[in-house]
Amino acid sequence: DTGVSQNPRHKITKRGQNVTFRCDPISEHNRLYWYRQTLGQGPEFLTYFQNEAQLEKSRLLSDRFSAERPKGSFSTLEIQRTEQGDSAMYLCASSYMRDSWETQYFGPGTRLLVL
């Protein structure tokens, strides 16, 4: 396994369209995170899963956003009725929880541009 993968790497869409991104974590990792990064800023937490359970969602995640991890493996992030403010890099990370800490390994990201 070579790391976290994300598809597509780039997405251009028109305002109002729906988009879906996929993340494949490192195979033995039980936790999966989604972050959003805008230009010149650090990543901001959106949501995370432990196995298939979605355990927390950020206030940043409006009703237009939905994330799933149906079998505790890959995850999808869907944005409905996209807005220009959704333009950002969407990063996925995965980790394996040790005793009291973990390192999150990030994927290459999906860069979204909403026109």
Partner 1 sequence: ELKVEQNPLFLSMQEGKNYTIYCNYSTTSDRLYWYRQDPGKSLESLFVLLSNGAVKQEGRLMASLDTKARLSTLHITAAVHDLSATYFCAVDINFGNEKLTFGTGTRLTIIP
Residues that bind partner 1 (CB under 8 A): 31, 33, 35, 40-45, 48, 55-56, 58, 91, 93, 95, 97, 100-109
Least Cβ distance, residue 106 to partner 1 (angstroms): 4
Q: Which is nearer to partner 1, 14 or 103 (CB)?
A: 103
**Least CB distance to partner 1 at residue 13 (A):** 20
Closest CA to 112 of 89, 91, 93: 89
SS3 19: strand
For the chain, report the end-to-end CA distance as a whole number of angstroms. 35
| Alpha carbons 26 and 7: distance in angstroms, whole number | 15
Residue 71 or 101 with smaller CB distance to partner 1: 101
Q: What are residue 18's phi and psi, to 5 degrees?
A: -95, 145
- Report the residue number, 72 or 108, with the smaller CB distance to partner 1: 108
